[in-house]
Structure 1
């Protein structure tokens, strides 16, 4: 519930079979070009969401539908936040949160070991095996998923579910990586370079349907109603509970056609990600050069697509009401709720880490991220907002 590109996140969290596309290099190039493009707007004051281009795309998948349920409470965004450091496990990185923000999942660094937090305090988790490990997601009951290599040097990890202090391999695949679990216990991830779903911790993995000729794909997150999002051949993709599936719409960016999109998470139908204009469409083993990139927000229930062309925000997490959490250039970590942008405080001299993968609770009151302090030390932190 989940850098600017979902595959960068995956590369940070696991060493799966390498993608044929140099995604990390592509996004880095895109960021450099965005920085040059944005320099001309250095003197402007722009509220992130106020600059959005709103595009509604109709079709079988994105036909207008009922608005998302207001499951996040009163809908009033917080007005202040206080930061504290996560305790219990030093040098750690959070990669997943349950809807309440009480349960967190992640890993230690630089040597990856699995970690779970409850109410801000972390505990190391021992998964079977001998190589690096990580927890990637956790639900409201505290059931978590993660992976570990059977031994150092192994090419692909073994997927695990962890509940009641017991780790069990997820069935149906020999290797793979789980990336999300919802409160109903549905788990999604990838195996052999393609997206998979476990309907429960004891059910065999089932490969999700993808278009003919698909090269690679991954399931990134699963909503509480069972809607799954991920990427298929470098485009954001959605699988509905009724069995239908399709690529997310690719709106134009600055009058140019976008050819690549990425997604980070879904909550209550809201999908946060980004869209890119590339030198040429991603394909085969060719490297991708990103010319432009901008954050995007899709609503798979209403059919709305928003692209924040002039925004300086790079969001990686979304709440149940469509609020975004990420880093704003020149400002730092922020929560953006409609026209309101709330700064997430950091110590003097600190900044959000370039690879910070934020998490946020459904109500927007509990947020995690990774900062680099004045001594260049990486610290996982949590913000409590009200």
Structure 2
């Protein structure tokens, strides 16, 4: 367990870093086998999936009141469906496998379901949504994935390819409309930002790396994701708004890592994976602390418990994780032991 004196010894500002977290289980639907939590909003509402072997994944939402899983409506003949993102106004987006095709979906605050518009080839995925109701993901164009934005009225826009790119994918959107993802250039993937103006920016590669992908963006427009070296090893990376990129490293003994989300304080979460790829651990990173095993910061950890990946973090310091307890997969919410007031923890 890290305490305040340990963090201060590492040169971190104690008023900028959460020191401990309290674990809250996000259970599956009654009778289901397991759950996984993938996203949360500023209010702490969480979304993800509940799994039953005979049915597959079912999209669910855990509210702030009781943290019990509530199912989201799915189309008939659905075999798998997952909620991937939730906005601050409660709109949820995700994807479902229906009759052999994957469809991007939106649920409004009341739970009503909408199929998002797609290309003639069908298929599509929705990953993120902002408070204006703009959804990002990708949809096939001439059999190649293309980053897309769907408006609240159902219309959609295929985002322009950076010069020389062959295909693209959008993974997240900020409140101001900045979209991030990646594009493929002659067999190499590069992290990309689409500006609200429609312009595209290919993010910098740090020395010694040949590929990259952007996965998360904060409201202050910092970006996180991964960079890949010539040996195909991935390492978590953090792009600040000034263009500087920081390689975050992996947890001790691991061979690779991926950053999945960042908040406005620059706190980064993700997963660190063993060299064999057989197991992963959720990590937490700040500039002052470096990369930390997130499970070691949990003050009420049960005996049979692990965190495999941290998927999202909000500006209140709440984190949603995928893990396991008592032998089955579980979604978890991590609550910091203090509150955030006027932009600063106390």
Which residue in the other structure is 1:244 paired with? 244
Which residue in the other structure is 2:149 paired with? 161
Match of 2:306 among 312, 316, 330: 312
Could you list the per-position Cα deviations for residues 245-266 of structure 1 after superposition, in whole angstroms to 9, with x for gaps in the alignment?
Answer: 11114342xxxx4331122222
Could you list the per-position Cα deviations for residues 286-326 of structure 1 after superposition, in whole angstroms to 9, with x for gaps in the alignment?
Answer: xxx236632111135x5553214665123323232332223
Instruction: State the Cα distance separating 1:125 from its structure 2 match.
Output: 0.9
Which residue in the other structure is 1:115 paired with? 105
Which residue in the other structure is 1:206 paired with? 201
Give TM-score scaled by structure 1 length.
0.60
The question of 1:187 aligning with 2:187 is answered no
- Tell me the number of residue pairs that the alignment of Structure 1 and Structure 2 aligns: 268
C-alpha separation in 2, matches of 1:250 and 1:55 = 20
C-alpha separation in 2, matches of 1:147 and 1:64 = 40
Which residue in the other structure is 1:321 paired with? 316
C-alpha separation in 2, matches of 1:53 and 1:290 = 33
Which residue in the other structure is 1:82 paired with? 68
Which residue in the other structure is 1:125 paired with? 116
For residues 264 and 73 of structure 1, do their structure 2 counterparts lie closer, same or farther at Cα, with a shift above 3 Å needed?
closer
The question of 1:267 aligning with 2:258 is answered no
Instruction: State the Cα distance separating 1:115 from its structure 2 match.
Output: 0.9
Which residue in the other structure is 2:299 paired with? none
Could you list the per-position Cα deviations for residues 88-144 of structure 1 after superposition, in whole angstroms to 9, with x for gaps in the alignment?
Answer: 53533212222x261222111152011111113221011233142112211011011
Which residue in the other structure is 2:344 paired with? none
C-alpha separation in 2, matches of 1:81 and 1:262 = 28
- Of stretches 304-313 and 190-199 in structure 1, the one that deviates more from structure 2 is 304-313
Contact 1:106 1:136 in 2 (8 A): yes
Instruction: State the Cα distance separating 1:270 from its structure 2 match.
Output: 2.4
Contact 1:185 1:199 in 2 (8 A): yes
Q: Secondary structure at the match of 2:141?
A: coil
C-alpha separation in 1, matches of 2:307 and 2:4 = 14
C-alpha separation in 1, matches of 2:312 and 2:284 = 11
The question of 1:335 aligning with 2:284 is answered no
Which residue in the other structure is 1:106 paired with? 94
Higher strand proportion, which one? 2
Instruction: State the Cα distance separating 1:187 from its structure 2 match.
Output: 0.4
C-alpha separation in 2, matches of 1:64 and 1:249 = 21
For residues 108 and 240 of structure 1, do their structure 2 counterparts lie closer, same or farther at Cα, with a shift above 3 Å needed?
same
What are the ranges of 5 or more consecutive residues in structure 2 without an aligned counterpart?
19-40, 45-62, 229-233, 297-304, 341-346
For residues 172 and 53 of structure 1, do their structure 2 counterparts lie closer, same or farther at Cα, with a shift above 3 Å needed?
farther
What are the ranges of 5 or more consecutive residues in structure 1 without an aligned counterpart?
1-49, 279-288, 341-361, 363-386
Contact 1:56 1:305 in 2 (8 A): no
Instruction: State the Cα distance separating 1:339 from its structure 2 match.
Output: 6.4
C-alpha separation in 2, matches of 1:237 and 1:58 = 25
- Of stretches 230-239 and 326-335 in structure 1, the one that deviates more from structure 2 is 326-335
Higher helix proportion, which one? 1
Contact 1:261 1:276 in 2 (8 A): yes
C-alpha separation in 2, matches of 1:57 and 1:130 = 55
Contact 2:251 2:283 in 1 (8 A): no
Which residue in the other structure is 1:13 paired with? none
C-alpha separation in 2, matches of 1:103 and 1:213 = 40
Instruction: State the Cα distance separating 1:209 from its structure 2 match.
Output: 0.3
Match of 1:227 among 214, 222, 228: 222
Which residue in the other structure is 2:58 paired with? none
For residues 136 and 333 of structure 1, do their structure 2 counterparts lie closer, same or farther at Cα, with a shift above 3 Å needed?
closer
C-alpha separation in 1, matches of 2:5 and 2:140 = 44
What is the RMSD computed on CA atoms of the aligned residues? Answer: 3.7
